[in-house]
Structure 1
């Protein structure tokens, strides 16, 4: 007897089901649009950072500035004959039982005070920082006092201090080798970071600087627990990656100067680890680095920084979506 073949049944997709799926996808995208935007801006930094870099990287050709500082006196505290756009103020931050109580860091800070005689100096402690934030940035006070990691408070505070007062802000582990006067002719300066972006360990800005204001205003938006991991949470919410991302999305970056070395030594001013630059010695305490930092840094060195950034952002997006779905279903996470 010949075998009889069974007819293949084609399952038809009901139009209503397709419409429902499409609706859920579109609703999900709309619901998570802020997170998608933030994730995209953070993940795309390696691509967006180099745009127009020839305009904002300090150079002899464009700015008539000697990035080696060989032609400037180590005691030059003013930008003369150029106007001083950055006020003569030095800021250091020591919250909690921080660096101010350590004799080593007090001596390091003193080196900067000695190099800038006559400048106003602030050492921001818990009491003075709390007063500044509560009085001048009350809309950020609750978030600032409830940051999960202490370094987030320090980072956010540095932006608020720099916006409100202007001047120069330095980490406590930065020793000044010379006065910073030649850089005061620019509205904003920060050293280049490796492999991309800028470092927030040392920044200087005019009072009320518009870019620094953007750093302050976007703190709420980027305040997320990225995977619940300390390193990406700090870097993406308040740290160098955050500051570099806000820099990269500014419409005009020409006045937001980044200090790097000449073509033959572009990393001359990088503050990664224990290094000595023409203007600073960095003792590289990295006291805020947690257990996950070494792994992420290793991935960045071996595979390029796009991989860990995109990976953390993508997984964070998945976790965020799953958490929101569970909450909407009435389940406890």
Structure 2
């Protein structure tokens, strides 16, 4: 007599339950669409940054500009014979227990003032910065005053001051070795960072520059506690990665110049660490870097596909967790 096999019970998800679960997932994605979009733009920077790089990288071929500065006078204050698009204004920022409290940084700042005689100079402090934001950017005042980390207030103030006045933003640890006159011909210019993007420790812009205005307008949108860590929160909400992302998604990047170097020395103007460039001695304080900085920087240097892969992988893990949870609930039912 043969053995009769009884097939195991097959659990099938009821169509109504499946439809409700799918609807819930789609609703969650719809509600989080802004977060997902912003996260993707940040993650995609390593891939899209060099798109149309020939438009925005300063070069002798495209701009008739000597990126080594060897052919410019050390004391050249104007871009003549070109028009000066950047007004002769220097901005330094010292908030809270900032660098200006130390004589060392005051002396470093003085090198930039001395080599730009006749230029207007701002030293933004807690008092003057607060009054400025309240008067000219009242819609951002609450957010600005409530930033979790002091460096976020400094970064946001860079964009506000640069947009309202135009001129040059300089970190307190930048010692000027020459005048910045030759660069005043550009609507916007900043030094390239390694491996992608640019440094916001030095920026020059015309008054009311559209791109700088976009940096100000997007501050509220990207104001999130990214990955629940200090370093990415700063970099993605106000810092270099944030500014570079907004740059990368501009329709016209031709006027948004980035100062890099020749192929033999692409980091010629990068302000990473304690370095000397054709323009500055960068003393590299980086005092705001937190415990997680090394980890994030290592990830960033691992390759341009790492951040997008991590982003997609995170979405995949979240999807698998949701799917597994739904299966368990259906089995219990």
Within-5 A mapping of 1:48-87: 48-87=48-87
Match of 2:228 in 1: 228
In the alignment, the residues of structure 2 paired with residue 244 and residue 122 of structure 1 have an alpha-carbon distance, to the nearest angstrom, of: 25
Q: Is the 8 A contact 1:45 1:248 kept in 2?
A: yes
Q: Is the 8 A contact 2:40 2:311 kept in 1?
A: no
Match of 1:325 in 2: none
Residue 307 of structure 1: how far off its partner (Å): 2.9
Residue 263 of structure 1: how far off its partner (Å): 1.9
**Normalising by structure 1, what TM-score?**
0.92
Residue 46 of structure 1: how far off its partner (Å): 0.6
Match of 1:150 in 2: 150
Q: Mark the CA change 1:126 to 1:25 in structure 2 (over 3 Å): closer, same or farther.
A: same
Match of 1:304 in 2: 303
Name structure 2 gaps, 5 residues minimum.
322-333
Cα deviation 1:148-202 (Å, max 9, x = unaligned): 0000000000000000000000000000000000000000000000000011000
Name the SS for the 2:204 alignment partner: strand
Q: Mark the CA change 1:306 to 1:124 in structure 2 (over 3 Å): closer, same or farther.
A: farther
Q: Mark the CA change 1:74 to 1:313 in structure 2 (over 3 Å): closer, same or farther.
A: farther
Residue 96 of structure 1: how far off its partner (Å): 1.1
Match of 2:264 in 1: 264
In the alignment, the residues of structure 2 paired with residue 318 and residue 235 of structure 1 have an alpha-carbon distance, to the nearest angstrom, of: 24
Within-5 A mapping of 1:1-333: 1-301=1-301, 303-304=302-303, 306-307=305-306, 311=310
Q: Is the 8 A contact 2:44 2:307 kept in 1?
A: no
Name structure 1 gaps, 5 residues minimum.
323-333
Residue 262 of structure 1: how far off its partner (Å): 1.4
Q: Mark the CA change 1:135 to 1:310 in structure 2 (over 3 Å): closer, same or farther.
A: farther
In the alignment, the residues of structure 1 paired with residue 307 and residue 294 of structure 2 have an alpha-carbon distance, to the nearest angstrom, of: 12
Name the SS for the 1:90 alignment partner: strand
Q: Is the 8 A contact 1:276 1:282 kept in 2?
A: yes
In the alignment, the residues of structure 1 paired with residue 316 and residue 161 of structure 2 have an alpha-carbon distance, to the nearest angstrom, of: 32
Q: Is the 8 A contact 1:226 1:313 kept in 2?
A: no
In the alignment, the residues of structure 1 paired with residue 314 and residue 38 of structure 2 have an alpha-carbon distance, to the nearest angstrom, of: 14
**Normalising by structure 2, what TM-score?**
0.92
Q: Comparing 2-11 with 70-79, which one deviates more in the overlay?
A: 2-11
Cα deviation 1:116-173 (Å, max 9, x = unaligned): 0000000000010001100000010000001000000000000000000000000000
